[in-house]
Amino acid sequence: MRRWVRTGVVTFAAAGLAAVAAACGGGSSSSSATGGTEASGTGGKELTLTIGYSGALTGPYAAYDQPLLNGMEMAAKQIEAAGGYKGVHIKIVSKDNKDDQTLTATTTQELLDQGIKVFVLSTADVVTAEGLLVAQAGGISSVGANTAGQIVKDVGPSTFMIVAPDNEGAAAGGQYACDTGYRNAYLLGSPEIPYTKLLPEYFADAFAHDCGGKITGEDTYKIGQTDFGTQVTKIQNANPQPDVIYTSIFVPDSGVFLKQLRSAGVTIPVVTVDGNDSSLFVDSGGSAVDGVVYTTHAFPTPGSLDEKFINDYTQLMGKKPESNTIEAMGRDNIYVFAEAAARAGSTDPKAVLDQVLALKDFQLVTGKMSLDDTRLPTKEVTLVKMKGTDFTFLDAFTPEYIPEP
């Protein structure tokens, strides 16, 4: 998913949030991915774990934060319908921060003032500063649907990630490109945020390692731009012409870029990233998305946990999810916290975090999760190929080589 920590902004944002907050006054077994009333790990007592979420529920980033919250709420409903999860009940308290720095500080502090110390973080620009505010108050957090490992490092030991990080996703893209026979690649990224900056770098590393692939051209774009004429012309004039374009561009920019690329007669294959795993990809790109391959975290193949999740979600929420994975990530975050609280027999944030870090091969919709000493997981990466405007499963694997984050 998109990562919203702009380079050079983290320290300023963290300081700004802290100042505003001050002004406001303020183990080792796997588990089913379906949840339910399994044997209690709480010694027979019932616990209620309250999880806070200050997300960008309106504005452009709502395309990620609202589905994430929907998945979290679906999981809470599922757990309550089953009478709890191993003795643990879940309550979610959410607030809209509109990706506004001041409002994020205010809403996060309001949640902390309610005694909430367990958080799922936003995917929006303020995520690192938000996580630091939680940590400073003695809380813990999952980085939600974020995949930039740098966020976990920046927030520190009170946070963790449950989905495959960017270096692994890009490595899968590089391995796929090699296996397909591509040897010359053109990179398109943006230096504005780590997500769009680092993914092409990880891809280039894996592409070179796996098959001696070469980067024969590269360019940058500005997030939110609407005219990609300059970028398209450079690709048209590239010599040699690349076998593949790898880009970290995400919706809705990706759809605009692809329309202009294909309208210019450029038919070079495109491999891209999980920020396009959304119905907005088709909405923004139309028929131009045909043939694009992107990496993501799950796909509802027949009989898969993701297919079951989508069916359960549709039944409980009265509508289908907007994506193949964002809602599933929200669901998975809740079950990780519920399992950890059950094992701890407590809702104390430190005790819960200790049990999260101790999970081994814990089965989630987005794959089995074990965290390494950097609090990042290694998981299978899913490849999706667009056939016309249809999302189709291509492959799922753990890359043989993964660049260092």
The pTM of the full predicted model, rounded to 2 decimals, is 0.86
pLDDT of 31: 43
What fold is seen in the domain 10-163+304-369?
Rossmann fold (3.40.50)
pLDDT of 229: 98
**Domain segments of the chain as ranges:** 10-163+304-369, 166-296+381-397
| Closest-CA residue to 176 (of 28, 405, 403, 395) | 395
Q: Residue for token digits 């070179």?
A: 208
Q: What is the spatial distance between Cα 121 and Cα 144, in angstroms, rounded to a whole number?
A: 5
Q: How does strand 390-397 pair with strand 381-387?
A: antiparallel
How many CB atoms lie under 10 A from the CB of residue 208?
17
DSSP letter assigned to residue 85? B
Q: How does strand 362-364 pair with strand 367-369?
A: antiparallel
Q: What is the spatial distance between Cα 298 and Cα 309, in angstroms, rounded to a whole number?
A: 11
Three-point CA angle 90, 58, 188, nearest 5°? 105
CA distances from 400 to 179, 206, 314, 371, 395 (A): 12, 9, 36, 18, 14
pLDDT of 231: 98
Residues in the chain: 405
Phi, psi of 315 (to 5 degrees): -70, -45
Tokens of 363: 């089965």
- pLDDT per position as a tens digit, 172-183: 999 999 999 999
| Closest-CA residue to 112 (of 137, 93, 91, 144) | 137
Q: What is the spatial distance between Cα 250 and Cα 224, in angstroms, rounded to a whole number?
A: 10
DSSP-derived secondary structure for 353-368: HHHHHH--SEEETTEE
DSSP-derived secondary structure for 186-227: EEEE-TTSHHHHHHHHHHHHHHHHHH--EEEEEEE--TT-S-
pLDDT of 324: 81
| Closest-CA residue to 352 (of 140, 72, 76) | 140
Torsion of CA 389, 289, 285, 176, to 10 degrees: 120
Q: What is the spatial distance between Cα 30 and Cα 113, in angstroms, rounded to a whole number?
A: 35
Q: Which CATH number fits domain 166-296+381-397: 3.40.50.920, 3.40.50.620, 3.40.640.10, 3.40.50.2300?
A: 3.40.50.2300
Q: What is the spatial distance between Cα 394 and Cα 35, in angstroms, rounded to a whole number?
A: 28
| Closest-CA residue to 242 (of 294, 295, 308, 183) | 183
pLDDT less than 70: residues of the chain? 1-43
Side-chain-side CA neighbours of 76 within 13 Å: the count stands at 17
DSSP letter assigned to residue 134? H
